[in-house]
Structure 1
Amino acid sequence: MTTWITICDTCKRDDWIASEKSHTDGEVLAGLVEAAAQSETVKTRRVSCLMGCKHGCNIAIQAEGKLAYTLGDFIPDQEAAQAIVDYAELHAQSETGQVPFRQWPVGVKGHFVTRHQPIPQEK
């Protein structure tokens, strides 16, 4: 099953200054995550605003029938991008989407904002 990394491409960290940067921090992080996510089980998509501006840069980890997570406050660099992708790979391998804390990549620890239960299956 595919796990999706949804990346907010409009995120700007507190130190972002338009006159000094040609891309938002979210665009930079999105490009790095897209480059790092090269598997069949993890896909990426960009959205304009996850409404977590106090936690920029924001991403969501989601898959059908699994727990979903919002993470934020990343520095848009290669280390953060790789940690996000590594966590998404573990999410994809998990039956429920829950990854034991001891398996979390160091780069995602302290970045979790919310956890959402899977949408109920209608009967």
Structure 2
Amino acid sequence: MTTWITICDTCKLEGWEATGATETDGERLATLVEAAAQVPLRTRRVSCLMGCSHGCNVAIQADGKLAYTLGRFTPDADAAEAITAYAALHSASETGVVPYRQWPEGVKGHFVTRHPPLPDE
């Protein structure tokens, strides 16, 4: 079962406008996460996860598993490594639950929401 990392590519951290950057913070994080992700992980970009006060935002999802939204990342290699490391643990989990003691340090404090899997009809 494939675990997806969905990255908001429109996220802008506070003060972004003053930097003169041509890429949003979300685009920068997306590029780094895409480079760090390895099979069986998949990535995709979306424009707006509606977590603007928590930017930079990502969602970790797979069919039949708990899904998580994480935010408040800086667009750097350490964040990308932590995100992909957590997503790999999510992928290896039957339910999407990863015990806290296994969480990469870089995702602690970044969880925003948890969503139960959709029911089978």
**Identical residues among aligned pairs (%):** 72
Question: Which position in structure 2 is the counterpart of 1:26?
Answer: 26
Q: Which runs of 5+ in 1 are unaligned?
A: none
Question: Which position in structure 1 is the counterpart of 2:41?
Answer: 42
How far 1:20 moved relative to its partner? 1.1
Question: Which position in structure 2 is the counterpart of 1:60?
Answer: 59
Moved over 4 A (4+): none
Structure 1, residues 63-96: CA drift from partner, whole Å, max 9, x if none?
0000000000000000000000000000000000
Structure 1 distance, partners of 2:99, 2:24, is 32
**Greater mean alpha carbon deviation, residues 27-36 or residues 15-24:** 15-24
Question: Which position in structure 2 is the counterpart of 1:85?
Answer: 84
Question: Which position in structure 1 is the counterpart of 2:114?
Answer: 115
Structure 2 distance, partners of 1:84, 1:15, is 23
Structure 2 distance, partners of 1:116, 1:38, is 24
Question: Which position in structure 2 is the counterpart of 1:74?
Answer: 73
Q: TM-score, normalised by structure 2?
A: 0.98
Alignment length, in residue pairs?
121
How far 1:18 moved relative to its partner? 5.8
How far 1:3 moved relative to its partner? 0.2
How far 1:9 moved relative to its partner? 0.1
Q: Please tell me the root mean square deviation across aligned C-alpha atoms, in Å.
A: 0.9
Matched residue SS, 2:16: coil
Q: TM-score, normalised by structure 1?
A: 0.96
Equivalent position amino acid for 1:97 in 2: G
Question: Which position in structure 1 is the counterpart of 2:11?
Answer: 11
Structure 1, residues 25-79: CA drift from partner, whole Å, max 9, x if none?
000000000000022x100000000000000000000000000000000000000
